[in-house]
Each structure stands twice: as C-alpha cells, then as structure tokens.
A and B are shown apart, each in its own frame.
Chain A
Amino acid sequence: GAVVSQHPSWVICKSGTSVKIECRSLDFQATTMFWYRQFPKQSLMLMATSNEGSKATYEQGVEKDKFLINHASLTLSTLTVTSAHPEDSSFYICSARFSQGGGETQYFGPGTRLLVL
C-alpha cells in the first residue's frame, strides 16, 4: 500500500521557538494532504487541508498565522508551529489523499509528537 512518512517523529522545543514538521507521500503524488492534531486520550481533529500550489484551508478555530502550512510539491507538505507554547504540545498526524480507479483513500503518516517546554 501507499506510504506516508513524517519527520521528525518527536520533537522537544522551548517555548517561543518554531517547529517544522514534514509530511511526505513516498510512492504516490498527493495534491491534497491533511493535518490533524490529537490531544491525549482524545480523537483526531482536523486542523487544515493542504493543497498543492495553493493556500491551505483551515478548520474553524485553528489559527492560520500560528500553524503555517506549505504544500510546495506533490509529495511534500510542511506544518510549522510558530512561537510554540506548552498548550501546542500534542500529537500531529498528516494524511495524503490517494486517488485511483475512481476511488479515494487517505493514507496516514506515523505522527509527530511535539512537546513544548
């Protein structure tokens, strides 16, 4: 099956710094990728939809200036958490949309755990 990778798998940073997370589709091209956030013992919540070559679409309540998304190529989307604070500590998961034979599937990355001190 299709593979999606994320880097880094975990990161610890100081409050006020910015952190970039990469999401790559390894063996297929994805015009659309999605970024989710998961707090402890909660389900995944969609943050934004990343569209190749255009601006991301953010869900209600997600600050676009804080969570910068860049989908520069058909295989790479990045999420930058700017001026991170402890409340941004979470598990961030990306997914890539794969279309084939009239059907569509999302493949998920392994996630990035962010801890802001």
Chain B
Amino acid sequence: KQEVTQIPAALSVPEGENLVLNCSFTDSAIYNLQWFRQDPGKGLTSLLLIQSSQREQTSGRLNASLDKSSGRSTLYIAASQPGDSATYLCAAPDTGGFKTIFGAGTRLFVKA
C-alpha cells in the first residue's frame, strides 16, 4: 500500500530564498507524481505533473524532480516570494495505480 511522506511539515523562510520541499513514497511502481498548492480554505491548484518516464518538470520558478528508484521527489522553489506562502501537497498513485494518495503537506510561509 502506497504511503506518501512529506518533510518538512512546515517551513518559514525570508523572501528571496531558494528552497526545497521533499516527498517520499514507498511504492516506486508509479506512473506519475503530482505536486499541488493549496491556499487556506481553498481547493487544489495543480503545479507540476511528472510522468514516470520523466526526471523533472519545470514551470517558472518551480522545478520538480522524480527519482523512482529511491522513491523520492523534490519541489524546488527559486527566489521565493510572499505569494508562495501556501501548503504544498505531493500525491502519488496507490499500489495498483487506481487511487491517488496524498502526503500530509508542507506549510510554507515566506516572510517579506
């Protein structure tokens, strides 16, 4: 059964800092992995989707990498801004690939 773990649980950084959010998963037989952003009281915003054949995906200041062999993914945020403050969720398919399992999230606060 797939388990998704995210560290750190919370992170506070000054504006402009580059940062890395970590996600690990127990079942490496995944066909993709997704990173989401969730603002307080809001729904999910899909940030990056990495297919199993890819090693990384980039969107603006965001870069997500995927290492299936080690069961890890990282989300790199460059030059962080206060507007980046949110909870970032990592999600991977369950064993069998039918359901999506979410990590507990990393709550990011970027100080101006």
Chain A residues near B (Cβ < 8 Å)? 1, 6, 34, 36, 42-46, 49, 91, 93, 95, 103-111, 113
- Interface pair B31/A108, CB less than 8 Å apart: no
- Interface pair A46/B99, CB less than 8 Å apart: yes
Q: Which of B12-20, B39-47, B55-63, B71-79 contacts A (4 or more CB under 8 A)?
A: B39-47
Chain B residues in 8 Å Cβ range of A91: 41
Question: Known contacts A103-B51, A105-B49; is A111 also within 8 Å of B99 by CB?
Answer: no
- Interface pair B44/A108, CB less than 8 Å apart: yes
Query: A17 vs B35: C-alpha distance in the bound complex, in angstroms?
Result: 36
B89 within 8 A of A: yes
Chain B residues near A (Cβ < 8 Å)? 31-32, 34, 36, 41-44, 46, 49, 51, 89, 97-105
How many inter-chain contacts with C-beta < 8 Å in the A-B complex? 46
B21 nearest CB across to chain A (Å):
14
Query: A104 vs B33: C-alpha distance in the bound complex, in angstroms?
Result: 11
Chain B residues in 8 Å Cβ range of A105: 32, 49
Chain B residues in 8 Å Cβ range of A46: 99-101
Query: A105 vs B101: C-alpha distance in the bound complex, in angstroms?
Result: 13
Query: A20 vs B57: C-alpha distance in the bound complex, in angstroms?
Result: 38
- Interface pair A49/B104, CB less than 8 Å apart: no
List 11 A-B residue pairs with CB atoms under 8 Å apart, sorted by A's residue number: A43-B102, A44-B102, A46-B99, A91-B41, A93-B43, A93-B44, A95-B100, A104-B31, A106-B34, A108-B43, A108-B44
Partner of A110, one of B42, B97, B100, B102: B42
Given contacts A43-B104, A93-B43, A106-B100, 14 further A-B contacts (CB under 8 A): A34-B99, A34-B100, A43-B102, A44-B44, A49-B98, A49-B99, A93-B44, A105-B32, A106-B34, A107-B46, A110-B42, A111-B42, A111-B43, A113-B41
Question: Can you name the residue of chain B whose Cβ is closest to the Cβ of A49?
Answer: B99
Query: A6 vs B36: C-alpha distance in the bound complex, in angstroms?
Result: 18
A19 nearest CB across to chain B (Å):
18
